[in-house]
Chain A
Amino acid sequence: MDESFSVAGTLSLVDKEATAMDEQEFRALHDATARPILAYLLGVMGRRDVAEDVLQETYCRFLVRQPAPMDANETRRYLFRIATNLLRDRWRKGDDEPWQEVSEGWFSVDVDTQMDVRAAMRALKPRERELLWLAYVEGMNHAEIAAATGLSALSVRMLLFRARRKAAGLLLAERSTR
């Protein structure tokens, strides 16, 4: 489950020098980070077409900007930050309705779990889904989430608390009605 070790291995090459990344290096970075970022975008958006667009744009921006060399974890957080900003830009422009639909095969665990997750995800706001995902799936601390989302660490703490309470309330309520 933990991919940061493989990322650390494959991304040490990013630290080489301040020059642009070559294709081989980029492939290593992409292989190590694309799946978690795509899962994040799908988890927050619920739409594969949008998630794929945003994922491609995330890497394009990363390559065009050529940021200063950073370690594997920083690179990963930087990519999450770009992806989060792109999502927010789309919502501001009104390009997407978050969680309009859920693609097939999404929640193929069992029917009860499916219902729980659908209900919880639909009821949460996009920002709440973002925060919960970054905290619990990516294991980011409040300062790292603040850097990725552009919020202050204090706001992250409060918003995360509310989001967690809301999500837990929804999940526990669904379970108790079964």
Chain B
Amino acid sequence: MNRILCERESDVVETLRRGSFSDELRGHVRSCSICTETQVVAEMLLQTASLLRVEHEPSAAGLVWRLAQVRKNEIALKRATRPLIVMRAMSAVYVVFSAAWLLHYFWRSGSMESISGWNGFLDETAWFGVAIAVLAMAIGAWYLLRDGGHSVEGIPST
């Protein structure tokens, strides 16, 4: 059965990474197909890696730091405005329900005559007031969120 591991493989890799082969290890590599393969591949990769590390300069740490700070601020702002988004959704629900309730009321009162005559409507005046208040809240919440959205967009990208 073919072996897939040799317990000296890690020694070969470590030696290639850090130092020179002992005679004993060199002898083992000559007699072990796994360690021979490991040596060939690891040498090629280590040579490539050392060239790449010398030849390619990473971006400046300061630039990466500033990018991360901008990203952090954006995330913090999104978190802070999340309750307002929930409020806006709730306001929309209130408006829809209020509108439905009003339509339902007029439908049940017989016809649009009730609007012109205000017959029976006074009993419901308080409810109508509530609906108006909710509408005002909805408009207010929308305005606030629109303002918040502009603030997020105003953050420079770099």
Interface, chain A (partner B; CB < 8 A): 1-2, 23, 26-27, 30-31, 34-40, 42-43, 48, 51-52, 55-56, 59-60, 63-64, 105-109, 113, 116-117, 120, 132-133, 135-137, 139, 141, 157-158, 161, 164-165, 167-168, 171-172
B58 at the interface (CB under 8 A from A): yes
Inter-subunit contact A107/B64 (CB<8 Å): no
Bitwise, B17-58 to A at CB < 8 A (1) or not (0) is 110000000000000000011101110111111111101101
Inter-subunit contact B5/A63 (CB<8 Å): no
Task: For residue A48, give the distance in angstroms from its CB to the closest CB of chain B.
Answer: 7
Inter-subunit contact B53/A107 (CB<8 Å): no
B68 at the interface (CB under 8 A from A): yes
Which single residue of chain B is at the shortest CB-CB distance from A167? B41
Which single residue of chain B is at the shortest CB-CB distance from A48? B56
Tell me the dominant secondary structure on chain B's binding face: helix
Which single residue of chain B is at the shortest CB-CB distance from A105? B55
Inter-subunit contact B37/A168 (CB<8 Å): yes
A117 with B46: in contact, given A63-B68, A64-B75, A139-B14 (CB under 8 Å)? no
Q: How far is the CA of A113 from the CA of B49 in the complex (A)?
A: 14
A38 with B56: in contact, given A63-B72, A64-B71, A158-B4 (CB under 8 Å)? yes
